[in-house]
């Protein structure tokens, strides 16, 4: 009989211990789920801010292009890059396509420091090539820029 009482007491202590451990694990799981949800909300918010910033930048570049402050190629390179950061609608994707095509067509032309290191004759040659390529896309680029200045900022 003493053995049975000791066994029951031991089983009770073990059950309480296991229940306490299960409660600890459940609380830890809830805390982790809360952290994950918070991180998810924070990421969503950051993506929305990044999307808005990219959209605003696209509008600014499109305006500069229409005001002839940028070449078609420079605007295309910038808009093509920014378009990858935007959660775009189907219509917007179509507008971005021409900018991406021009950016790809002129991607071989050096920029920034690489451009500065080129000889004058090489710069002239590449400028002529760029101008020729831009002429093929110009009408579409201008129309696309006109559409992009009205891009939705949400």
Reported confidence tier of residue 150, pLDDT bands at 50, 70, 90: confident
pLDDT of residue 4: 87
Decide: 50 and 43 in contact? Cβ < 8 Å.
no
pLDDT digits (tens, 9 = 90+) for 21-67: 999 999 999 999 999 999 999 999 999 999 999 999 999 999 999 99
pLDDT of residue 91: 85
pLDDT digits (tens, 9 = 90+) for 67-83: 999 999 999 999 999 99
Average predicted confidence (pLDDT) for the chain: 94
Q: Exposed, middle or buried, 145 (CB in 10 Å: 0-12/13-18/19+)?
A: buried
Decide: 74 and 109 in contact? Cβ < 8 Å.
no
Q: Exposed, middle or buried, 71 (CB in 10 Å: 0-12/13-18/19+)?
A: middle
Q: Reply yes or no on whether the pLDDT at 114 is more than 70.
A: yes
Decide: 79 and 62 in contact? Cβ < 8 Å.
yes
pLDDT of residue 1: 67
Please give the model's pTM, rounded to 2 decimal places: 0.77
Instruction: Write the CA distances from 150 to 47, 62, 112, integer angstroms.
Output: 21, 10, 30
pLDDT of residue 126: 96
Q: Reply yes or no on whether the pLDDT at 112 is more than 90.
A: no
Domain ranges for the chain, please list them.
2-148
Average pLDDT of 94-99? 94
Reported confidence tier of residue 5, pLDDT bands at 50, 70, 90: confident
Neighbouring residues of 51: CB distance < 8 A, sequence distance ≥ 6: 85, 86, 87
């Amino acid at each position: 009989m003493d053995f049975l009482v000791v066994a029951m007491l031991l089983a009770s202590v073990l059950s309480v211990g296991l229940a306490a451990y299960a409660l600890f694990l459940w609380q830890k799981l809830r805390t982790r789920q809360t952290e994950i949800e918070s991180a998810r909300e924070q990421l969503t918010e950051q993506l929305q801010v990044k999307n808005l910033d990219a959209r605003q930048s696209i509008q600014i570049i499109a305006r500069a292009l229409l005001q002839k402050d940028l070449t078609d190629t420079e605007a295309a390179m910038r808009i093509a890059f920014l378009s990858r950061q935007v959660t775009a609608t189907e219509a917007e994707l179509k507008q971005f396509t021409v900018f991406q095509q021009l950016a790809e067509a002129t991607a071989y032309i050096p920029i920034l420091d690489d451009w500065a290191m080129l000889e004058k004759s090489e710069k002239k040659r590449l400028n002529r090539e760029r101008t020729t390529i831009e002429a093929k896309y110009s009408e579409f680029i201008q129309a696309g820029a006109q559409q992009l200045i009205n891009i939705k900022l949400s």
